[in-house]
């Protein structure tokens, strides 16, 4: 198998589970050395990363910080910098998913909390990593967005607005750093089978199936493969784009009406 990320170094947030864990594995499989970022030191996570290291022969270094802890984030980036590996790829995957609330009843503090984690923390980390990339005049930044940002569908106001902001910011970043040889893109998953939706109302989730051309929800592996493409040199002329990975979701065909856990 051709290794698409041979001799490349990646920083991946939210690497301990779900989509982030899948991205970490597929990157290791394709030859990348990885700084696998998680919130807190966890022996089970470190053992899992050791297993991936041995399985694929790639270097995986766990890094810990809270997304909204600015000083902790800076210390983590110092740790990354101390390893003296040029950073080629940043995957902004970590985030939170808000429970469904109608706009008319949504507390402003909930909206601010979501933006703090899913937008402002990603902005700060990207600024810090971008400085490392610009020294080498190359790099690829990938955000995990959502089709909710494009369709205003199956999510509440705060999440839709936040991911739409990520898309817009991504395009502006791509414009600004393109002359430095750095590409910036986003992957917009549809409904994916992860822990983040396991407690969602099953009737609401099933009501979305008629809107999906492939008639199923996605897998974390399928999202990871899309991120792999954008991070690799196969996408060397792709920047400023939002790549939908949603099984062909067509919202008007859904019966979803929202709900407390939708």
Residues labelled catalytic? 159
What is the secondary structure of the chain as a DSSP string? ---TTTT-EEEESSTTSHHHHHHHHHHHHTT-EEEEEESS--HHHHHHHHHHHHHHT--EEEEE--TT-HHHHHHHHHHHHHTT----EEEE-----PPP--GGG--HHHHHHHHIIIIIHHHHHHHHHHHHHHHHT-EEEEEE--THHHH--SS-HHHHHHHHHHHHHHHHHHHHHGGGTEEEEEEEE-SB-SGGGTTS-HHHHHTTGGGBTTSS-B-HHHHHHHHHHHHSGGGTT--S-EEEESSSB-GGG------TT-
Among residues 71, 100, 93, which one has the least CA distance to residue 146?
A: 93
Cα atoms in the Cβ-side hemisphere of radius 13 Å centred on 75:
10
Separation CA 19–CA 221 (nearest Å): 7
Among residues 4, 20, 81, which one has the least CA distance to residue 52?
A: 20
């Amino acid at each position: 198998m051709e290794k698409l990320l041979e001799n490349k170094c990646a920083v991946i947030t939210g690497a301990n589970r779900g989509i982030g864990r899948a991205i970490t594995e597929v990157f290791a499989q394709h030859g990348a050395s990885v700084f696998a970022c998680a919130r807190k030191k966890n022996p089970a996570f470190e053992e899992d990363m050791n297993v991936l290291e041995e399985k694929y022969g790639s270097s995986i270094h766990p890094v810990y910080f809270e997304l909204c802890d600015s000083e902790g984030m800076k210390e983590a980036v110092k740790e990354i910098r101390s390893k003296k590996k040029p950073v080629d790829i940043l995957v902004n995957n970590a985030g939170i998913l808000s429970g469904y609330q109608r706009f008319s009843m949504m507390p402003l503090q909930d909206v601010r909390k979501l933006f703090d984690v899913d937008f402002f923390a990603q902005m700060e980390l990207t600024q810090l990593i971008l400085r490392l990339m610009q020294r080498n005049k190359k790099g690829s930044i990938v955000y995990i967005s959502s089709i909710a940002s494009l369709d205003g569908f199956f999510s509440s106001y705060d999440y839709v607005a936040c991911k739409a902001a990520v898309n817009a910011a991504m395009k502006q970043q791509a414009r600004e750093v393109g002359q430095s040889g750095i590409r910036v893109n986003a992957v917009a998953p549809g409904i994916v089978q992860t822990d983040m939706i396991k407690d969602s109302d099953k009737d609401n989730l099933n009501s979305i199936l008629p809107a999906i051309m492939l008639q199923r929800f996605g897998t974390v592996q399928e999202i990871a493969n899309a991120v792999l493409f954008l991070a690799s040199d196969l996408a060397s002329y792709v920047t400023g784009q939002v790549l939908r990975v949603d099984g062909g979701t067509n919202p008007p065909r859904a019966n979803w009406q929202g709900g407390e856990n939708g």
